[in-house]
């Protein structure tokens, strides 16, 4: 059993040296790749969104089914990957800086998780900024959570629910978890939360604020994203607990797996959030991958494969409880 202890760090006593040459080589490729236009221009945002199209057409073993549910601004699309045996259900919230991506960009990863862990994965196609100003994305994720809480047994034959998200999706997954606890009063149904290199302080942690250009997420990328999504929001508003979960009451929450690359400019967000989640009396599991940047689990490297496998192993362990 890999994850067994309160505040267990999954990478203690692990030797990643065999993975590092490949990671360094891939980081170099990313550093030398041409930089896209600013998403603050209409053309730049369109090109950034076009960059996700290869992920939308990636083949999967399980073909997703489309479910439409009622949302605060009309129907919300849910894409469901359902294996023959369903032991639990994962509510997946995609990343993309609240302004990019769709529920299908995680298709291959959701397909792999569904088959490896025997879970149904429900991916939310929430509204994006700036066309739908923040917090429209949060309201859509709340609607998806409400539907799942009310329908999980009838739809999937189980009442074990997990939340999962990467980057902005991890931010939305943590906010949605708090909504399930505080408004739906159903946190007992949530058996675990998988939070992958999330942003939990919209006011910027030190590693975010002082980061230089990195392998995948640059300082300019982050500045443009924050400007596009939040505009002239004040620091006080950005750090309200309903938007920055790092400042929320984190008591009475399920176990959480936090995954981060040591070279990620959002590393402090994970370190701080894991500590607050743990100090509030919850179980946490922290996986830190050396020399790895933002998006560490989506790249074609052995380190990425290891990170995905550890997420699956953690999920399988939680399903047994």
Instruction: Evaluate whether 98 touches 134 at the Cβ level (below 8 Å).
Output: yes
Q: Which of the four CATH numbers 3.90.226.10, 3.60.15.10, 3.40.50.1820, 3.90.1300.10 does domain 8-31+39-319 have?
A: 3.40.50.1820
Supply the pTM of this predicted model: 0.95
> What are the backbone angles phi and psi of residue 149, rounded to the nearest 5°?
-60, -40
Instruction: Evaluate whether 166 touches 196 at the Cβ level (below 8 Å).
Output: yes
Beta pairing class for 74-81 and 88-93: unpaired
Residue 136 CB: number of other CB atoms within 10 A? 18
Cβ neighbourhood burial of 281 (10 Å; 0-12, 13-18, 19+): exposed
Give the integer Cα–Cα distance in Å for 293 and 295. Answer: 6
Instruction: Evaluate whether 236 touches 244 at the Cβ level (below 8 Å).
Output: no
Residue 215's pLDDT is: 62
Give the integer Cα–Cα distance in Å for 91 and 113. Answer: 12
Per-residue pLDDT tens listing for the chain (321 residues): 233 334 455 554 578 999 999 999 999 988 888 888 899 999 999 999 998 888 887 899 999 999 999 999 999 999 999 999 999 999 999 999 999 999 999 999 999 999 999 999 999 999 999 999 999 999 999 999 999 999 999 999 999 999 999 999 999 999 999 999 999 999 999 999 999 999 999 999 999 998 876 667 888 899 999 999 999 999 999 999 999 999 999 999 999 999 999 999 999 999 999 999 999 999 999 999 999 999 999 999 999 999 999 999 999 999 999
Residue 30's pLDDT is: 86
> Residue ranges per domain, the chain?
8-31+39-319
Residue 35's pLDDT is: 80
Give the integer Cα–Cα distance in Å for 251 and 280. Answer: 5
- Residue 183 to residues 49, 70, 169, 180, 291, Cα–Cα distance (Å): 33, 18, 20, 6, 39
Burial string for 64-74 (b: 16+ CB within 10 Å, else e) reads beebebebeee
């Amino acid at each position: 059993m890999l994850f067994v202890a309160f505040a267990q760090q999954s990478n203690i006593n692990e030797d990643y040296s065999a993975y590092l040459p490949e990671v360094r080589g891939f980081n170099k490729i990313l550093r030398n790749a041409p930089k896209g236009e600013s998403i603050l221009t209409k053309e730049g945002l369109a090109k950034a969104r076009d960059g996700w199209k290869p992920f939308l057409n990636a083949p999967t073993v399980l073909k997703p089914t489309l479910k439409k549910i009622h949302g605060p601004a009309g129907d919300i699309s849910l894409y469901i990957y359902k294996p023959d045996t369903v032991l639990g259900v994962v509510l997946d919230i995609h990343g993309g800086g609240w302004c990019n991506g769709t529920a299908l960009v995680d298709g291959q990863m959701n397909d792999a998780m569904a088959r490896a862990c025997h879970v149904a994965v429900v991916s939310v196609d929430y509204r994006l900024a700036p066309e739908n100003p923040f917090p429209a994305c949060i309201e859509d994720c709340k609607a998806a959570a409400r539907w799942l809480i009310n329908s999980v047994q009838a739809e999937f034959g189980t009442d074990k629910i997990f939340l999962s998200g990467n980057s902005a999706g991890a931010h939305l997954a943590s906010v949605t978890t708090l909504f399930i606890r505080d408004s739906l009063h159903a946190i007992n149904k949530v058996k675990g939360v998988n939070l992958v290199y999330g942003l939990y302080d919209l006011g910027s942690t030190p590693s975010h604020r002082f980061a230089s250009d990195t392998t995948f997420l640059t300082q300019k990328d982050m500045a443009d994203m924050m400007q596009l999504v939040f505009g002239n929001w004040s620091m006080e508003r950005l750090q309200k607990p309903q938007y920055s979960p790092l400042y929320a009451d984190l008591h009475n929450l399920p176990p959480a797996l936090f995954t981060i690359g040591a070279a990620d400019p959002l590393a402090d967000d994970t370190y701080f959030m894991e500590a607050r989640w743990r100090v509030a009396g919850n179980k946490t599991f922290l996986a830190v991958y050396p020399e790895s940047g933002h998006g560490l689990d989506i790249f074609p490297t052995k380190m990425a494969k290891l990170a995905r496998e550890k997420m699956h192993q953690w999920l399988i362990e939680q399903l047994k409880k």
